[in-house]
A and B are shown apart, each in its own frame.
Chain A
Amino acid sequence: MGTAPVREVHDLEHERFLEEVHSFEFWFHSVEGYLSGTTYGHREETVDDSPSGAVDRQHLITVLSNYCIGEMAALEGASGLIAIAPNQLTKIFLSTQVADEGRHLEVLLHRMRDLGVKYPAQEADRRASRGLKQFRHELLRLVQGRDWEAAIFAQNVILESLEFAVFRAHAEGADPVTKEILDGIIKDERRHIGFGENELGRRLHAAPHVRTRLARVREELDHLILDMLEDSSREIGVEPDRKAELARAYLQSVERLGFT
């Protein structure tokens, strides 16, 4: 037998890489580093310096409400995607994502409870923006339509990139407990974005016509995302010039896949 063609060798290495990063084992060792010793997303000794003024407190609760609905959408999306995932490896990765999104939802609801909200899930639903709820609805529609590429694009690229940009901006100026919670979530979201880019990058390479379909999905969802960015920036108190930066951070993720 001669040596395998270069492409095959490369594919094999890539397979091995995916096998590793999409496994439970990989997830387990990743989260071990930043979740051990935390309770509901933060260390117990972290001083809770949450806003004491009524207005600021309400503001934070509204922001967290939106995050909760985003995480609910991600939990529903990721769990629904397991049914249509093309192989065992992607099913396993999505299962780790399901647990991550469930955790995000849990720590955020818990944070709302800390801030005095008695029924956080109901409150989140009451306060969250219409655009976000519409996005949640659209995402579920794509998942139920069993459109793997479009649903992964909407969830692991668009939604995750939005969350990543917003959480990072918010964490910078947040109170210590909220910051720790967000920092932990951001680490998870980075893995989810990586999965989306990897999964779609390969598919776009192999079947360029998928790009046209995804561009249409993006067109439908982009205005919702940019509206949500606008809302979130206002609520987390982002300066106008940083707002553009936020939008850029979101757009960059989408552009990495070749969408301009």
Chain B
Amino acid sequence: MADTIDAYSIQNWLESCPQSYLMDTEYGHGPEEKEPDFILDNEVVLEETIKATVQLVVGERCALSASSGLINAAPDEASRRFLATQTLDEARHVEVFTHRLYDLGVKKQDLEGTIQRYANPNLVKFAEILLEKVDRKDFVSGVVGQNIVLEGMAFSVFEMMHAMNEPVNAKFAHTLSGTIADERRHVGFGENRIGSLIQQHPEKRPEVEQMQKEMSYFMLATFADAFRNNQTANELEAAGIERPHSEYQGVDLGTMEPEEMEQVLADTVLKEFKTRLGRIGIEYQTPARP
């Protein structure tokens, strides 16, 4: 257990994020960095960006509820303390994405209304499946749902967004790189801690597999909504702004149709699920395609 204590200790966390990549940032980015004009000056692009950021807040709120809710269900001290650092990470993510909404012009008093208006119902369903497990203090399902399914999804989405933003929006790319670093730790904990627990509780497998299948379905439905109804690409084209030729998973995002991008993201996440679940002894279940 000694190794786990060190790797997942709060001491390790203090050294690896506040004293490292968060130094000299404000709400996750450099104090001078700003959202670019092509977003702020175009109503359609601005609304799409707000909509996309709302999904991030919704996802992070779910992660915050899940990680804090799992602390009292954790069977050992080291897991509790790791989850304490994760709780703070997730709270930070909620905060930085909320601040992005403010930077995009959402008024503080309109925050909840904006979130309600734009939150994708499929993402809300996805979150509900996980939070139901957390409410029941089901640690094994909760950690798989959170640290493998939710985090795995977040990780890939952030990476794709990072690739798209890096050439054109240094501020948001900076925010994303910090969250990606956090999520990487969270995913690592899920794999390391839960493998042995699954071995101890093989009877949990069918329930966990069913949860993964359901969550995956609602994740794909969220992706479908996000890409298929997105006006950003058309709008940028109409305005004569060339999309950056960002590379993600070996493809050029600057030349792809939204449906193709959706496909690449979905395939990447599902492949990741399969690998990670395999490592902890859970059989990946193919979800229905929305």
Question: Measured between C-beta atoms, what is the minimum distance from A118 to chain B in Å?
Answer: 11
Q: What residues of B have a CB within 8 angstroms of the CB of A121 in the complex? A: 77
In chain A between 50 and 96, which residues have their CB closer than 8 angstroms to a CB of chain B? 75-76, 79-80, 82-83, 88, 91-92, 94-96
Q: How long is the Cα–Cα vector from A70 to B28 in the complex, in angstroms? A: 33
Q: Contact partner of B80 among A25, A39, A95, A102, CB < 8 A? A: A102
B9 at the interface (CB under 8 A from A): yes
A28-36, A166-174, A212-220, A233-241 - interface stretch: A28-36
Nearest Cβ in chain B — how far from A246, in angstroms?
A: 29
Interface mask (B1-38 → A, CB under 8 Å = 1, otherwise 0) = 00000000111011000110010001100000000000
Please state if A91 and B91 are interface contacts (CB–CB under 8 Å): yes
Asked whether any CB of chain B lies closer than 8 Å to the CB of A244, the reply is no
Q: Which of B67-75, B202-210, B238-246, B254-262 contacts A (4 or more CB under 8 A)?
A: B67-75
Contacts of A140 in B (CB 8 A): 72
Instruction: Tell me the bound Cα distance from A83 to B98 in angstroms.
Output: 19
B11 near A40 with CB under 8 A, answer: yes
Q: How many angstroms from the CA of A36 to the CA of B88 in the assembled complex?
A: 18
- How distant is the Cα of A91 from the Cα of B9 in the complex, in angstroms? 22
Which of A24, A36, A91 has the largest count of B CB atoms less than 10 A from its CB? A24
Residue of A nearest to B93 (CB): A24
Docked complex Cα distance between A9 and B186 (Å): 42
Chain A nearest CB from B131 CB (Å) reads 9
Residues of A within 8 A of B98 (CB): 88
A contacts with B, residue count (CB < 8 A):
33
A98 x B94 contact (CB < 8 A): no
By beta carbon, the residue of chain B nearest A92 is B91
A88 to B94, Cβ gap below 8 A?
A: yes
**Shortest Cβ distance from B118 into chain A, in angstroms?**
16
Task: State the CA gap A98–B108 with chains docked (Å).
Answer: 25
Q: How close is B19's CB to chain A, nearest CB, in angstroms?
A: 6
A133 on interface, CB distance cutoff 8 Å: no
Contact A25 B69 (CB under 8 A): no
Q: Is the interface of A mostly helix, strand, loop or mixed?
A: helix
B85 lies within 8 A of A99 (CB): yes
Closest Cβ of chain B to A188, distance in Å, is 12
Shortest B206–chain A CB gap in Å is 28
How far, in angstroms, from A124 to B94 measured CA to CA in the complex? 35
Asked whether A102 lies within 8 Å of B10 as measured between CB atoms, the reply is yes
User: A105 at interface (Cβ–Cβ under 8 A)?
Assistant: yes
Q: Smallest Cβ distance from A41 to chain B, in angstroms?
A: 9
Q: A79-B72, A109-B77 are in contact. Are A101 and B84 (CB under 8 A)?
A: yes
With a CB–CB cut-off of 8 A, which chain B residues contact A39? Answer: 11
B19 touches A106 (CB 8 A): no
**Total contacts A-B at CB 8 Å:** 88
**Given known A82-B87, A95-B90, A99-B87, contact A28–B68 (CB-CB < 8 A):** no
Contacts of B92 in A (CB 8 A): 24
Which A residues lie within 8 Å of B84 (CB)?
Answer: 75, 79, 98-99, 101-103
Task: Specify which chain B residues have a CB less than 8 angstroms from the CB of A103 in the assembled complex.
Answer: 10, 14, 84
Contact A98 B68 (CB under 8 A): yes
State the Cβ distance, A84 to closest chain B Cβ, in Å. 11
Tell me if B11 and A96 are in contact (CB < 8 A).
no
Contact A106–B91 (Cβ < 8 Å)? no
Name the distance in Å between B273's Cβ and chain A's nearest Cβ. 27
A129 is an interface residue with CB less than 8 A from chain B: no
Is B185 in the interface zone, CB < 8 Å from A? no
Q: Could you tell me the distance between the alpha carbons of A19 and B13 in the complex, rounded to whole angstroms?
A: 25
Q: Report whether A95 and B64 are in contact in the complex, using a CB–CB cutoff of 8 Å.
A: yes
Residues of chain B lying within 8 A (CB to CB) of residue A99: 10, 13, 84-85, 87-88
Q: Tell me whether B81 is interfacial, beta carbon within 8 Å.
A: yes
Nearest 8 Cβ contacts at the A-B interface:
A102-B84, A95-B91, A99-B88, A79-B71, A82-B68, A24-B92, A79-B68, A103-B10
- List 18 A-B pairs, Cβ < 8 Å: A24-B88, A24-B92, A28-B22, A79-B68, A79-B87, A82-B87, A83-B68, A92-B91, A92-B94, A92-B95, A96-B91, A99-B10, A99-B84, A99-B85, A103-B10, A105-B77, A106-B10, A140-B72
